[in-house]
Structure 1
């Protein structure tokens, strides 16, 4: 295994493979039979929640959010307060970036140390089976290491505006989650580090794939952080979640933001709220782009089940661990379903 300072093998951009015209994908992208996707899934839309209900019908909307967190771990927000024009603009500006010449993108090539920048693999295990996608990863909070692309020139300004809106939305949802758990409204925000939360973005680009039945755009995983705000591609679907041990295809609502519970919220809630496995399938005919914004605890704060949720009947399921210690797993191993968070239970 390589260290977190190096990739174990030369990194190949998947977009280059896609544009080469080859009809056979390289062996390192071919998944084991048991992990290959099915394209004949039923669509089962995750709960769609209208945020204006927090003003007009608060009790009912709070109940909808509570059920979504406990039963699904995923929901779509509409009328979320983030401007429609801004939502469309940030998607398109990242599409522009991924269509910049390869020599421009390679200036921002990343390393496993922070993952910041342009990359094409997760995890540093030599010989690992890779995903059919490229990405750009940006730290926003803390700001000290942010690696912004210079092109397109308006990208940074747009993303700072979008980030501010997502941070406001995240703070609102943490209050709602806290109240729904029977806690003080600032309980989860404080557990995340108060005003010193972490925030980062991964722009995901999924090029066309000549053999989408053999690979995945993104392997099955639960998000290691607090919660994720996903701006999906509204034209090209690809997100699937595991529900009742079956894969279900998700159809995004127009101008919706998809929210999902991360492992840290599962730990803090002592498994009342659940992070959920999800994956992305590849497409033979179309490129796909999505933006995942991660609202995370502060790196060095200890994450453990909140004391008010611990009783004799519901003992703590997870040991204390900092978020930085926790996410080192995915930086080393890459996506592995829910193995990481479930393995913590055996450490009690």
Structure 2
């Protein structure tokens, strides 16, 4: 990790105990308020007691590690230029595999079958993290002052992507990034990682880069572009990047929650008024995929601003 980048202190990281979302009428509003503050100030928080067992997360990371360690000819079966492919392997400064993951039963037969436990272990994690994503998104929607069921049915039928990365071990003197600064095009991204390496732009500290330490058993939640649009800019999609480690390779699994490809996302009408005019045009995941094909220099979220 880049020693010049300060590490976020635990007191700066909002940690949400997911079980408290199910507690009494006094506890839940406090948790929802914490989520609101974290999304507004940092675009990021972490969750504990989220209901995904250590066995499920470790098995998913283990199967991905074994896949990434396969000979290149076995991974190149999934090497495509077309960003629309539902299963796609990419290799450059890192190895990456994208998997469409909902409904799991519709896609799992197209996933890698080597290692032999890949489909079972990633399928178990995909089902669990999707359930969790919808639960967290419900609390986030509530934190915006919207009805907790706002967009629920569309989100439950939406696109769920799993994107896993392996960042090779770096040399101690290297300043190369494993993944450059970007925001995610999702409502939220839930991140599982085998070690630290994530860095976020701290909106509260002159947009300084801060390293996010790994916390055993915790998952990271990142605000994505579509949540920024839905909130009419109240919540900001967090810029983040990855610094590889000189100690070992890093494997991470991002779970991206979206609506269906053609469904449009726009600022919630309840959050638009004379004092808060609409700040973003409507867009869809399909439009974003087309945008990627053109390789524009401007970021997609910037292109949506009115």
TM-score normalized with structure 2 length: 0.89
Find the counterpart in structure 2 of residue 275 from structure 1: 237
The offset of 1:141, in angstroms, is 2.8
Partner of residue 124, structure 2: 161
What aligned pairs does 1:1-348 form with structure 2 within 5 A after superposition? 38-44=2-8, 45=10, 46-56=13-23, 57-115=27-85, 116-120=87-91, 132-141=93-102, 147-190=110-153, 193-210=154-171, 213-234=174-195, 237-244=196-203, 245-333=207-295, 339-345=299-305, 348=306
Q: How many residues align?
A: 294
**Is the alpha carbon distance of 1:268 and 1:281 closer, same or farther for their aligned partners in structure 2, counting shifts above 3 Å?**
same
| Structure 1 portions without partners, runs of 5+ | 1-36, 122-131
The C-alpha deviation readout for 1:96-137, integer Å capped at 9, x for no partner, is 11112222212222223325322125xxxxxxxxxx211111
In the TM superposition, what whole-angstrom CA distance separates every residue of 1:264-304 from its partner, at most 9, and x where no partner exists? Answer: 01001101111110000123342111111111121101111
When residues 319 and 283 of structure 1 are mapped into structure 2, their CA distance, relative to the original with a 3 A threshold, is: same
Q: What SS is found at the alignment partner of 2:222? A: strand
Measure, in 2, the Cα distance between the counterparts of 1:201 and 1:66: 25
Over the residues paired in the alignment, what is the CA RMSD in angstroms? 2.1
Mark the runs of 5 or more structure 2 residues left unpaired by the alignment: none
Equivalent residues of 1:174, 1:188 under 8 A apart: no
**Comparing 263-272 and 278-287, the one that deviates more:** 278-287
**Alignment partners' CA distance in 1, 2:201 and 2:275:** 28
Alpha-carbon distance in 2 for matches of 1:291, 1:212: 26
Change (3 A) 1:63 1:293: same
The whole-number CA distance in structure 2 between the counterparts of 1:212 and 1:228 is: 31
Q: 2: distance between equivalents of 1:194 and 1:175?
A: 10
Tell me what 1:19 maps to: none
